[in-house]
Structure 1
Amino acid sequence: MAAPLLKSLAESLGSPEPAVRLILSLVIGYPFALVYRWFLFYQPATVLHLFHTLSGLALAVFNFENWLKNKRLCKDQTIKTETRLQNQLRPEPSGFQADGTAVGPQVYHSAVCVLVQFLMLRLMGRTVTTVLSSFVFQMVYLLAGYYYTATEEYDIKWTMPHCVLTLKLIGLSLDYYDGGKEARSQQKSAALTSVPSLLEVFGFSYFYGGFLVGPQFTLQSYKKLVARELTDTPGKPPNSALPAMRRFALGFLFLVIYAMFSPYFPDSYFLTDEFEAQPFWYRCVFMLLWAKFNLYKYVTCWLIAEGVCILSGLGYNGAVEGKHRWDACANMKVWLFETTPRFQGTIDSFNINTNEWAARNVFKRCRFLGNKAMSHILTLLFLTVWHGLHSGYVICFSMEFLIIMVEKQFVALVNDSPTLTKLANSSLYPLLYVVQQFIHWLFMAYSLVPFCLLTYDKWLRVHMSVYFLGHVFFLVAFLSVPYLRKALVPKKERGQAKQD
């Protein structure tokens, strides 16, 4: 009954059915949170773990039960000509078929990984071996999923929530390991002093507010939620309905904007002869606007999911000067995202919890290298592999490293140069801001093209159409910094900067 209705709804909205299912699943989190607040808030931990587990599994079934059937129906007819011998010669891990689809319900992949993770913690103890085994198993399972379900387009399938789960479970092993030693300040709050129960791990993994698209949160935060500690009124459900509705309304606004404007900027237009025939300036502006509106689908999902976390109480972040904060699960700083003219500002405001997870569990654990640049490279390399096996991710994150490195050098140049500092604080600043914003979003778009188009034959064609503008611009900027410093920075400041 529901399937025909969803299909009709998707057709009326002009959206793919999986996307409609995903948005509905995020919205369904609000009734789940209300059930928890109204009927289950004072129930024992076991009941809450069961509720969170079953509700998350229900969302998984709702989203991915028809994925196998749909993918088979949409398979290109040429695949049917593949011989049985070729299929037999291809190695297949348990649970996967050679046509790129998974055998059986799509939800069992997550359950297997959660169970294996629990057994590692229980049987292997608080050791480096546990951490390494967890990392290898969870990443290999995820990458196998990417490989055997891969297409040339981004699909909403079981690997989407599974990549979120992978970080949760790897982080869980690290937090358990940290509980047995003197953890650093940034790791101490998440450290676990004892092995969690199986039901606790399942509830943490399938919690409806973060299972599908995030945000990332620690088991310690989840335990505080179950213990009724995440509330502004001790012993009672939190007064979080209004903050939750604000995030939902903001998410809905971005959804409307995305639905209105994204059809005018389809990915497919990049690969047409018409696009390549347009003037250079048009191609650049189209790419800029495409990126701006394309990112709003992520903003929408994260804001709606954050509202669910706030409504349940997981978003409670204590009080500052008597004012209660609800940003513990914030994945977006919307105002900063929309107004910052800097690339670092975009990183600081976009997918915040994943970035914080990577900083805490990868970047800061590479401290032994004694080199921040190398730690940064390894962190971006991990994020590249975690996103998937397509070449577009490599190009995107390598561009991020280059852009951030150059931006830091130019920020230091402006701060050290009296001339540039005076110019930045002059009446020309509004004009400079507009120019900086244009550069910022143009090259954000340039980096986003391979991230979204995935395969090299697609993103390479687009980058060629704009003459590799992003690579040329930032490589020239990188090489020009020493000469600009020599011309614009007094010798005294240059010497001090060199010492720093």
Structure 2
Amino acid sequence: MSVLNDFFSKLSTLTGGAAVDHLKMVFTLLASYPLALVYKRLPPHNPNIKHLFSIAIAIIVLFGVFDLADAFYTMLISSLISYAIIYHVKGIWGPILVFLYALGHLSINHIYRQINRISYDRYDPTGPQMVLVIKLTSFAFNVFDGRRPSKELTPYQKSKAIPSMPSILEYLGYLFFFGGFMAGPAFEFMDYRQFTNMEMFRVDNDSIEPDQNNMHLKQLKLVNEYYNKNIPLKGNNNNTSRSFKYYVPNGSIPALSKLGFGIFFIICTMIFGNNYPVNWTLSEEFKAISLFDKLIYIQIASFCARFKYYIVWSIAEGACILSGLGFNGYDEHGNAKWNRVTNVDIVAYETADNIKTLLDSWNMNTNKWLKNYVYLRVTPPGKKPNFFSTFATFGTSAIWHGFYPGYYLTFISGAFVQSIHRTLRRNIRPIFLTPKFSSLKPLYNFLGWLLTQTVIHYIVIPFNILSFRNSLYVWKLLYFCGHIAIILVNVTFWLGFSKVIAQIVNVDVKTKREQVKKWKVERGDFDEGKVAINETGVPLEVDNGSVGLEKEE
């Protein structure tokens, strides 16, 4: 629409040249908040109206705001073909074919974008299609699980299994849900079904025991007394209906807090984020500064590069919370939890003192998809995940992101960093769990945070630059310091440094044992068998912690 395009072009000029499509995305995300309020007021007993609402909003956004009619047709065709495949192919080949088709279709669009050098400042069909692939493939496996005997399923698979094919309308309502079809968050079909038919908010009288002091149960009792709302729910395998009571908690505060995070990072981007572009590392000015200054700039630029993800994911999650989809039950104190569709834990990521915690806090819904529908699916039943499981997961993640060489440089380097992290944590951490060095554990945690953040900022340089040649050029300016560190750590442990660490730990353990023995002898109840030892040979606790060490997390 020319009127909207003119508006966003003028807004781009006023904001100092912000990309038009970036402004459109922010506008769309902010508009989803009033839409969420409208959505909550749709008839609760009629899910079809909710499905139509989401589909209509998707059409308006793609056609009217982004001028991406081709994106809508691409998503619609992919959705209908995937539905037909899983409907007609009953066995394991159903979800496999959907996976191959959806990922293959996305790959074609990735290649088209790359060949035509479409700037990442422009939004094209690959954006919403990446979210769509997660939904289509998880849906296909969930339908397959719904056709399998319950005893063959894991608890997670049982909770997400789809016992019968949904209608086309419900299926498209799920795929085009207004709160996440553009940039996520992705979520499971059964979560959507239980959300739209209000089963997610169901309250059962049978679960309430008035004599218990549990705050959750007390709250549910109040819900039954004061929110006596009944809605019909069709059975899965017949046409019978039943009624149940439901209560939708107020998610306004957590929703607004997510919106606040998003606005905060918008302001950060406008004030100083745009002053530290990663591409400045390709300039002659960057080449001329000292190595220390280069490393400092990399830390700041990589940190600022995350702002756009924080903006999109936080605001989108807030809209989902406001609509009710983010509801995830109650905690032990009776407080509603709103983390069902959380995609990033900003605080956990920025304070992570190890690579595992850092990665677990980032793009969480994609990680969940890769774990449940790739990593565990390619692992034979009853077997532990092996190298092929890891390789298949890595390959799927890489293809899903696209084919820019920078992605692969980051992923491959990241795999080595993860391996080094496991080696260091397994060998170094036990030292700081011993009495002699336990006072230094805060320093260990701080150095772990500093090293983790420094390394991750170094290896994500290609992810932001994309080009193979330019990525290697920047790493060369940094003397490949991150990769050299990886090699040195590997060589050090290959030469037997782990034995030196084991000796340090064992000497301290021996001293500790003598202390424990002396203490128990003085009490007259010495029994060596009561001294708990962890897998590294470190005493965990003796007599409720009177003498002992910190238990490993």
How would you bin the TM-score normalised by the shorter chain? 0.7 to 0.9
Determine which of 44, 54, 67 is the counterpart of 2:56.
54
- 1:163 maps to 130
Q: Which amino acid aligns with 2:499?
A: K
Q: Which amino acid aligns with 2:97?
A: S
- 2:146 maps to 179
Alignment of 1:429-440 (within 5 A): 429-440=441-452
Does residue 490 of the first structure (1) align with residue 503 of the second (2)? yes
Does residue 376 of the first structure (1) align with residue 367 of the second (2)? no
> What is the DSSP-based 3-state SS (H/G/I as helix, E as strand, rest coil) of the residue aligned with 1:360?
helix
- 1:338 maps to 350
Does residue 448 of the first structure (1) align with residue 460 of the second (2)? yes
- 1:6 maps to 8
**Taking structure 1 as reference, are residues 173 and 327 closer, same or farther at Cα in structure 2, changes over 3 Å only?**
same
Alignment of 1:144-163 (within 5 A): 144-150=108-114, 151=117, 153-154=119-120, 155-163=122-130
Deviation, 1:373, is 4.4
TM-score (norm 2): 0.78
Q: CA offsets per residue over residues 310-361 of structure 1, 9 Å max, x none? A: 1111111011212211110111222211211211111111111111111111
- 1:398 maps to 412
Is the contact between residue 152 and residue 454 of structure 1 (CA under 8 Å) also seen in structure 2?
no
Is the contact between residue 45 and residue 227 of structure 1 (CA under 8 Å) also seen in structure 2?
yes
Is the contact between residue 64 and residue 106 of structure 1 (CA under 8 Å) also seen in structure 2?
no
Deviation, 1:414, is 2.4
TM-score (norm 1): 0.86
Count of matched residue positions in the alignment of Structure 1 and Structure 2: 457
Deviation, 1:260, is 1.9
**Taking structure 1 as reference, are residues 342 and 225 closer, same or farther at Cα in structure 2, changes over 3 Å only?**
same
- 1:132 maps to 96
Q: CA offsets per residue over residues 3-47 of structure 1, 9 Å max, x none? A: 211111122112100000011111111111111112x14251221
- 1:64 maps to 66
- 2:379 maps to 367
Is the contact between residue 45 and residue 197 of structure 2 (CA under 8 Å) also seen in structure 1?
no
Q: CA offsets per residue over residues 55-77 of structure 1, 9 Å max, x none? A: 122222245316xxxxxxxxxxx
> What is the DSSP-based 3-state SS (H/G/I as helix, E as strand, rest coil) of the residue aligned with 1:367?
coil
Q: Which amino acid aligns with 2:154?
A: R
Q: Percent identity?
A: 25
Q: CA offsets per residue over residues 271-327 of structure 1, 9 Å max, x none? A: 111111110011111111111111121011111111111111111101121221111
Is the contact between residue 59 and residue 208 of structure 1 (CA under 8 Å) also seen in structure 2?
no
CA distance in 2, matches of 1:286, 1:492: 38
Q: CA offsets per residue over residues 443-490 of structure 1, 9 Å max, x none? A: 111121111111102211111111112211112212322422111103
Determine which of 88, 99, 103 is the counterpart of 1:123.
88
Q: CA offsets per residue over residues 153-205 of structure 1, 9 Å max, x none? A: 43422211111111110111011111122311122211111111111111000
Greater shift in the superposed pair: 114-123 or 224-233 = 224-233
Is the contact between residue 343 and residue 364 of structure 2 (CA under 8 Å) also seen in structure 1?
yes
Q: Which amino acid aligns with 1:18?
A: D
Is the contact between residue 423 and residue 429 of structure 1 (CA under 8 Å) also seen in structure 2?
no
- 1:141 maps to 105
> What is the DSSP-based 3-state SS (H/G/I as helix, E as strand, rest coil) of the residue aligned with 1:323?
coil
Q: Which amino acid aligns with 1:403?
A: V
- 1:17 maps to 20
- 1:252 maps to 263
Alignment of 1:32-43 (within 5 A): 32-38=35-41, 40-43=42-45
> What is the DSSP-based 3-state SS (H/G/I as helix, E as strand, rest coil) of the residue aligned with 1:276?
helix
**Taking structure 1 as reference, are residues 183 and 420 closer, same or farther at Cα in structure 2, changes over 3 Å only?**
closer
**Taking structure 1 as reference, are residues 43 and 186 closer, same or farther at Cα in structure 2, changes over 3 Å only?**
closer
Q: Which amino acid aligns with 1:320?
A: D
**Taking structure 1 as reference, are residues 17 and 469 closer, same or farther at Cα in structure 2, changes over 3 Å only?**
same
Is the contact between residue 345 and residue 361 of structure 2 (CA under 8 Å) also seen in structure 1?
yes
Deviation, 1:379, is 1.1
Does residue 261 of the first structure (1) align with residue 272 of the second (2)? yes
CA distance in 2, matches of 1:453, 1:389: 13
Q: Which structure 2 residue ranges, 5 or more long, are not aligned?
A: 203-222, 224-244, 508-533, 538-553
Q: What is the RMSD of the two structures over their aligned residues, measured on CA atoms? A: 2.3
CA distance in 1, matches of 2:436, 2:454: 23
| Structure with bigger gyration radius | 2
- 2:182 maps to 212
**Larger RCO (CA within 8 A; separation ≥ 6):** 1
> What is the DSSP-based 3-state SS (H/G/I as helix, E as strand, rest coil) of the residue aligned with 2:201?
coil
- 1:189 maps to 159
CA distance in 2, matches of 1:246, 1:496: 42
Determine which of 240, 246, 250 is the counterpart of 1:235.
246
Determine which of 29, 52, 64 is the counterpart of 2:32.
29
**Taking structure 1 as reference, are residues 469 and 128 closer, same or farther at Cα in structure 2, changes over 3 Å only?**
same
Q: Which amino acid aligns with 2:374?
A: V
